[in-house]
Amino acid sequence: MEYVSTRNKGKKVSSAFAIASGIAPDGGLYCPTTFPELTKSDWETLAASDYKGRAALVLGKFLTDFSAEELKDFTEKAYAPDRWGGTDTAPVVSLSGGRHILELWHGPTCAFKDMALQMLPHLLTASLKKTGETRTACILVATSGDTGTAALNGFADVPGTKIMVYYPVHGVSPMQKLQMVTQEGKNVSVCAVNGNFDDAQSALKRIFTDQDTIEKLSAQGMMLSSANSINWGRLAPQIAYYISAYCDLTARGAVEPGSPVNICVPTGNFGNILAAYIAKQMGLPVHKLICASNRNNVLTDFFKSGGTYDRNRPFYTTASPSMDILISSNLERLLFYISGQNDEAVRNLMEQLSQNGTYTITPEMQAALAELFDAGSCDDNQTADTIRRLHENEKYLCDTHTAVAVSVYEDYRARTNDTTPTIIASTASPFKFCKSVAEALGGTVKCEDVTQLDVLHGLTGQQPPAPLAALRGKQPRFDRVVEKEDILSTTSLLAEL
């Protein structure tokens, strides 16, 4: 399996090189040149396997310079029951109306990012060895909340790595912030940014192509890498859970083997739904991929407007902050594939986005999108209403991001009369967003600390996840705040870790 940059397909690299690098030197994202197909034998093996076995099989299709033994070892460690509250790593909860909630938040930081970021440290450290890299990997992460917490947890005290996380100072939930600023580990650091997620993400992309910074770090024995979903090692593990969910649904008789499903995903940076797209290319029977947005509905407008992407719009801070994004990085990978791997076309589109904040894809690319994708959005009022209705009618408690997906799916079904069974990605524990969830249920939250957990517990009777309850009494380690223009200068702090 070979990988190329979305902006230059002339240079092919291994999966280990792509993972170690994080992002291509030209600013593009590494992509596999072909999609491996799941055979009949593969599906039989998947059906008989637990989640660890399924993940190892799927990863083995893409990471061909890793041995089966290595991947088995990595998945056994990444998805160990003591880190996931049991052996059911990604359970599927079936609700009425053919809705199946894929819970991806049972890991150590209670969000779907754990599904990949418990795996990435193993993949990255092995990739460094395979490529002969001896420098320390300095992992820079921009986060809208969940990626930062999961990356810090995954890389804490991992030998040969340092990690710096940047989060928008007013753009994460109190629980997300508490997880980050109390993170233990000698090789971790956290920095708040006076700006939004897009500001931090754009700054980090510039750092990755800033030769002066790269050379200075190299002289100190360090290299840059990423734990954001721009890194193929972050994205690849996410493919497995959609395939696993399908196996679970067929095993319980909710879906006939070979019959299609829809997949609805709440997304801002487009990585989570891109993983579902790749699963379809491997042979997962998917009818429609439904892209769910909050009030920052740049992706919904892209799909609904005939292929015009326009980030020149107001930025809103919402109750689903992990989706408060206007520059969806992983959409670049989708453009690469639907354009027939036309790197020149993608390069031109990304230049237009950088210079003008907007671009429009070709009619041929629009047709390819329309065949597979649908999209919708909902505001905070609709989100709250969905949380309340699910809890009252289904006795199911969900977080704000999952509620966005459920609301968008309900609108899609009413609009299209499509009754295909649908997998809805549930991306975080409701206890990570206590204030919004509690208020949706009619409660009141005045506190900004871990006692929020008690309020939601009192309203619902549900116990908060152990990793969040364990935050009680922890003291913040990090309080640095920088202006968005000064993010580049913080890379000098890596030498202090």
Catalytic residue list contains 77? no
Tracing tokens 């517990």 back to the chain, one arrives at 457
For residue 38, count other CB atoms closer than 10 A to its CB: 17
Task: For CA atoms 60, 65, 69, 75, give the dihedral sign.
Answer: negative
379 exposure class (CB count in 10 Å sphere: 0-12, 13-18, 19+): middle
CB-CB contact of 458 with 452 (8 Å):
no
Find the catalytic residue in 113, 177, 205, 432. Answer: 113
The number of C-alpha atoms within 13 Å of 79 and in the hemisphere containing its C-beta is 27
Dihedral of CA atoms 466, 467, 470, 476 in degrees, nearest 10, equals: -160
Largest pairwise CA distance in the chain: 61
CB-CB contact of 153 with 183 (8 Å):
yes
How far is the C-alpha of 119 from the C-alpha of 110, rounded, in Å?
15
How far is the C-alpha of 40 from the C-alpha of 37, rounded, in Å?
10
CB-CB contact of 161 with 226 (8 Å):
no
Concatenated DSSP letters of 162-229: EEEEEEETTSS-HHHHHHHHT---TTEEEEEEES-HHHHHHHHHHHHT-HHHHHHHHHTTEEEEE-ST
Tracing tokens 């993983």 back to the chain, one arrives at 275
CB-CB contact of 397 with 391 (8 Å):
yes
How far is the C-alpha of 405 from the C-alpha of 435, rounded, in Å?
19
User: What SS3 state is found at 137?
Assistant: strand
Active site residues: 113
